[in-house]
A and B are shown apart, each in its own frame.
Chain A
Amino acid sequence: MTRFQRFPVAPTGLVLFWRAAAIAVAGVIVACALALSGRNPFELAGLVIHSTVGSRFGLEDLALFMTPLVLTGAAVTLTRCIGLWNIGGEGQFYLGAVGAAGVGLYVSGPPILILPLMAVAAMVCGALWILVPALARAWINVNEIITTLLLNFVAGFLVYWLATGPWRDRVTGALVSTGRLPVAIPEMWGAVHYGFPVSLLVVCALAGLLRRTVWGYEVRISGANPGAARYAGIPMRWRIIVVMLISGALAALAGMFEVAGTVHRMQGGMANNFGYLGIVVAVLARGSCMAVIPAALLVAFILDAGIVLQTQQLAATTVLAITGLVLLLIAIADELAHYRPVGGIGQGKASA
């Protein structure tokens, strides 16, 4: 007799299998819904595939979408390693944009110097933005989910204020926008700029830091078992503070890449939910830094497909519903991956 038992660890192979099934089920549901509303789902699917992975233009857009998602996803994944949630990626993204734009607009020099300076300024701003939640978490145990989340709104309004007030573009009258930055991250492949490979390298470096160093080991122990970590003498406060500051800096770097590579101006609303989507990426990546890259690719694909579907007269809300459906089914799939068939009692041997 075969029965199913829930195991605490889900093997990667099973996760991938169930997720592939989930995506297929989501595809079938969406196709049925589209067919019921009188559209040809095969034609739409063909168009989506062609416009995302089947054409140079689609691949460029995927890379541009992935660049910030990889970094904001890594920011959340890093805090997950120590058992915390950084929900403030959106705000740190904005602060990164502020730091980068401040340097880009008001410091002049050769791009080879200005661009790294922009990145450093951005990361410092992002780290400062998460400093208070980090200290509050480490010393007085204030829930970082609330503090980081609420600071997002402050950051959003700060950018609106700068872009409509002191830093406003008075030359072209662009909407809620600073002037165009005189420096830009060079493009390497069509519209794809060097921020894309750099973001991938940053994630790889982060994975190495967590997997191959004592510091990373201590962070992971602190997250997996705080009691044991404290007993082992790991300075948890400092680990929490440093992890959160790095997390803020990563999300801020995404803001710098977006402002210096893609948008070229600091604008209200430019974060485009990349901070929040970073949480989705981290959930999909299940705490693994390297898995952030394929997870970001999947989210980028969904976003890119959404744009194609919008031009096919599907409302933006329909696209949001499809995204939600995919993520819901993936969450179910992740849970299913914990179950494995085991042999009946007394048989003593797994049947699969």
Chain B
Amino acid sequence: MNLEGIGTRAHLEQLKFKGQGRRAFLGGAAASGIIRPVAAHAGTSLGPIREEDALIAFGHTGPITDGGWSTAHDLGVKAVRKAFPRLKTIYVESIPYSADATRIFRQFVAEGAQMVIATSNYGDFIRDVADRAPDVAFLECDGHSVTRNLGWYYITHWYPSYVIGIAAGLMTKTNRLGYIGTFPIPSVYASANATLLGAQSVNPDCTMQAVAINSWFDPQAATQAAFALADSGCDFLCGITDEPAYLRVAEQRGIKAAMWNLGMRDFGPKAYVSSVVLDFAPFYIEQVRARLEGRWSGAGHFLKTSMGVDRDPWGDTVPPEVAARADMMRDRILAGYSPFRGPIYDNAGKLRVPEGVVMSDDQIYQWDWGVRGMRGLG
């Protein structure tokens, strides 16, 4: 049987099993060898799918009830379901960063998913699956690989982080900011550096102590780290954890905290300054639509300020003049200005970004050094 020009064998199997039970369909998908290298012909394998045949799989790093990162993504999943009521979505929560991640993504493929979206950076664990499943579109949040059927997306959280950093610089009395970091990876450097640069732009004496807890979702470790930072004299906490634990610590200790993922003021109304809020819904809807229409291709996507990422409305205890000063920068960023311009020195005192040079989003996305005054991040 000549398959060229018609579609891959897997695609035919799907057509053949359409209308039968789910199990029969899965049998067809797996038996046809989706997970084996299939000779792919660009333009045919990622062809259009009917909405009622589509299965979109999401893999989360934490529980979707974490109140932060995974909840934010799940809101996007719900929006996809609302926009395309006839397609099916499945998800798996708390996928570890181990070979189990590969197994779960492979299982998504075996169950017939035409699009797999990982909401965290599983790196090789997703890349290995994508390379063997050329008929399936893969997206990896905070990823760095682009192939024909694998792309990445990320929010440019560094701009709202810079804006919140200005508020932090104006509100801190000890000039010590605490940062609950997760892993020493570029997206975390970008977040911490941006906050500190924002603070230093209004208060040059500001320093930041970061702690890496080696987990995205570990409320207990985040709480311990927050107490340790508060004990060491930090009076403004920020971070990049998936959940709101350190906001409770800030509330308890009478200090301030800025969050990220979602608005979280209920967890600590007096401590709450703002949050880098994320909205993946428009992006997910657009990507799923592109996949359904057969227009999808692997690429990198930045979700920009006010188009997927922004600061939350300021907390009740933020002085209006502080909010106004920070929002001045937000307005300039919205107008196209980038505050990430030289001179920027690293924490060893070396000039990394010369006077007059502006860091591109691509450079910020690869940030792997701490700025002047940053301690605790490699």
Contact = CB atoms under 8 A, between A and B. Distances in A.
Interface of A: 43, 46-47, 50-51, 55-58, 61, 64, 160, 164-165, 168, 170, 172-177, 180, 190, 258, 262-265, 267-270, 272, 304, 307-308, 310-313, 315-316
Given A58-B110, A173-B368, A267-B97, 15 more contacts: A43-B22, A47-B22, A55-B31, A57-B110, A64-B99, A164-B212, A168-B378, A170-B368, A173-B186, A174-B121, A174-B185, A175-B97, A263-B99, A311-B108, A313-B91
B21 to A, nearest CB: 8
Top 5 closest pairs, chain A to chain B, by CB: A174-B123, A55-B30, A272-B98, A310-B92, A173-B186
Contacts of B90: 311-313
Contact of B100 (A56, A272, A315): A272
A310 B145 CA distance: 26
Given A57-B30, A267-B97, A304-B103, A175 B91 contact: no
A176 B97 contact: yes
Contacts of B100: 272, 307
B110 A175 contact: no
Contact of A258 (B22, B27, B99): B99
Contact of A164 (B30, B111, B214): B214
Interface in B19-55: 22-23, 26-27, 30-31, 33, 35-36
B304 to A, nearest CB: 21
B360 interface: no
B205 interface: no
B9 interface: no
B30 A47 contact: no
Contact of B378 (A165, A172, A175, A262): A165
A165 B106 CA distance: 31
B317 interface: no
Contacts of B93: 310, 315-316
17 contacts: A50-B23, A55-B30, A57-B106, A64-B99, A174-B121, A174-B123, A174-B185, A175-B97, A176-B214, A263-B124, A267-B98, A270-B98, A272-B100, A310-B104, A311-B92, A315-B93, A316-B93
B110 A316 contact: no
A267 B36 CA distance: 26
Nearest to B21: A43
B172 to A, nearest CB: 28
B99 A164 contact: no
Given A173-B186, A190-B36, A263-B98, A51 B103 contact: no
Q: Which of B107, B111, B368, B378: most chain A Cβ within 10 A? A: B107
A174 B30 contact: no
A226 to B, nearest CB: 39
A58 B91 CA distance: 20
B183 interface: yes
Contacts of A177: 123
Nearest to A170: B368
B366 A307 contact: no
Given A55-B31, A164-B212, A176-B214, A269 B98 contact: yes
Given A50-B30, A51-B107, A311-B104, A272 B96 contact: yes
Contacts of B186: 173
B192 interface: no
Interface string B158-202: 000000000000000000000000011110000000000000000
B278 interface: no
Interface of B: 22-23, 26-27, 30-31, 33, 35-36, 57, 63, 90-94, 96-100, 103-104, 106-108, 110-111, 121, 123-124, 144-145, 183-186, 212, 214, 366, 368, 378
Q: Which of B36, B91, B98, B111: most chain A Cβ within 10 A? A: B98
Nearest to A313: B90
A181 B99 CA distance: 15
Given A61-B106, A173-B185, A268-B214, A262 B30 contact: no
Contacts of A312: 90
B96 A311 contact: no
Contacts of B107: 51, 307-308, 311
Contacts of A57: 30, 35, 106, 110
B256 to A, nearest CB: 28
Contacts of B103: 61, 304, 307
A168 B98 contact: no
Nearest to A44: B23
Contacts of A61: 103, 106
A175 B104 contact: no
Contacts of A316: 93-94
A265 B92 contact: no
Contact of B104 (A43, A58, A307): A307
A321 to B, nearest CB: 14
A246 to B, nearest CB: 26
B37 to A, nearest CB: 10
Contacts of B145: 172
Given A176-B214, A311-B57, A272 B121 contact: no
A251 B92 CA distance: 30
A264 B124 contact: yes
A46 B24 CA distance: 10
A313 to B, nearest CB: 6
Nearest to B36: A190
Contacts of A267: 97-98
Contacts of A43: 22-23
Nearest to B27: A50
A175 B366 CA distance: 13
B124 A180 contact: yes
Q: Which of B36, B91, B100, B186: most chain A Cβ within 10 A? A: B100
Given A174-B124, A175-B123, A313-B90, A164 B96 contact: no
A46 B110 contact: no
Nearest to A308: B107
A264 B125 CA distance: 10
A315 B103 CA distance: 16
A173 B144 contact: yes
Contacts of B110: 51, 55, 57-58
Contacts of A55: 27, 30-31, 110
A318 B22 CA distance: 23
Contacts of B184: 164, 168
A308 B94 CA distance: 14
A176 B182 CA distance: 10
A312 B123 CA distance: 24
